[in-house]
Amino acid sequence: MRRSRLSTGAEPAVRNFTYRGLPTQVIFGHGTIGDLGSVLEQQGVRRALLLSTPQRAQQALDATRSLGDTIVASFAGARMHTPIDVTASAQALLEASAADGVIAFGGGSTIGLGKALAVRTGVRHIAIPTTYAGSEMTPILGETADGRKTTRRSADILPHAVLYDVALTLSLPTAISGTSGINAIAHAVEGLYARDANPVMQLVAQEGIRALADALPGIVVNGADLAAREQALYGAWLCGMVLGSVGMALHHKLCHTLGGGFDLPHAETHAIVLPHALAYNAPAIPEAMAMLRQALGDENPAHALYTLTERVGAPRALRLIGLPESGIDTATDQVLENAYWNPRPLTRAALRELIARAWSGESPAPIEDTAA
């Protein structure tokens, strides 16, 4: 670690940490879809069920056509938040077609279905991500039943192989690309100061943030910019890896509360809240702030993220995406009700100010601990 050489001896040269690597096989590049046949072979898959959302069904079939009879069935009913009745229908098809593997072609919704099927049946799971959400690199599965979402984490949820092909992301609309990319940056920002942070994931996080922050403004101007698309997908992989490896804090908790309680759109909520959550935590995370200054090339990382949100054309105020003003107090109460680790302790007044700023769309500012 660089710190060790600079240590004065007044503090430990290398702090204790635990690191566990993710076992997923990752193939990244241009035209890698052509490697899918050999990936299936390496994974021992002879009969695959192809998964997608209804909108991506044709693209998924076209991209996998060369596999011929290896694709024994396709299910194009994946939906956001992995409803268990959708999983049950897909599982019936998986069993009826005697498939021994699933290919999840799409974003977090399709990969969520792939995870749900693999963890239930033990089949191999090959993910082909086409957004920047990062689910393919995490052992986390969120599922909904009767309108309630539950989340679980276990090693057998992680896909066995992930195939990133830059060309498959060219069709992702630029507006979705911008917010999806900032959503990915949020995973890496919180990974820098996670309770179980480690030097490997901090390096990965810095590089993921740098790559996405560089690439996203170019993609919004020209969605067909192949170099920018490559950087963004590379950054999304790295940020997904961070999400899959270390725990998150206030930012993710707050977005989960706002998304679940007020039905706000997932990626936009992340993009709006991130600069304010960072400004809140800044006094408690000097090392992470130094890493962020380096990754973003800016002395004021919270403001740089706020500016990035504007450059990608994302909304900058929660009031613009459906949060009523009364929601400021409700969300404050809900976050405080469920204890959650955060580098800076949560006080009601400061948390409320954070949410109020995000609601109105003001630029992020240091938040003092006023009357608690």
Binding residues for ligand NAD, rule: CB under 6 A, are 53, 55-56, 80-81, 106-110, 112, 130-131, 133-135, 138, 140-142, 168-169, 171-172, 176, 180, 243, 266-267
Q: Which is nearer to ligand NAD, 107 or 364 (CB)?
A: 107
Give the count of alpha carbons within 13 A of 142, CB side only.
Answer: 12
**CA dihedral (164, 136, 322, 53) positive or negative:** positive
What one-character DSSP code corresponds to residue 102?
Answer: E
CB of 117 to ligand NAD, least distance (A): 14
CB of 282 to ligand NAD, least distance (A): 25
CB of 269 to ligand NAD, least distance (A): 11
| DSSP β-ladder status, 140-145 and 148-153 | antiparallel
CB of 106 to ligand NAD, least distance (A): 5
Q: Which is nearer to ligand NAD, 215 or 282 (CB)?
A: 215
CB of 313 to ligand NAD, least distance (A): 17
Residue of 82, 151, 89 whose CA lies nearest to 110: 82
Distance of CA 234 to the CA centre of its chain: 13
35: exposed, middle or buried (Cβ count in 10 Å: 0-12, 13-18, 19+)? middle
Q: Which is nearer to ligand NAD, 25 or 370 (CB)?
A: 25
Residue nearest to ligand NAD (CB): 108
CB 103 within 8 A of CB 36: yes
Q: Which is nearer to ligand NAD, 271 or 288 (CB)?
A: 271
Q: Which is nearer to ligand NAD, 202 or 269 (CB)?
A: 269
CA distance linking residue 367 with residue 369, whole number of Å: 7
Q: Which is nearer to ligand NAD, 102 or 328 (CB)?
A: 102
CB of 8 to ligand NAD, least distance (A): 40
Considering only the C-alpha atoms of the chain, give the largest distance between any 2 of them, rounded to a whole number of Å: 67
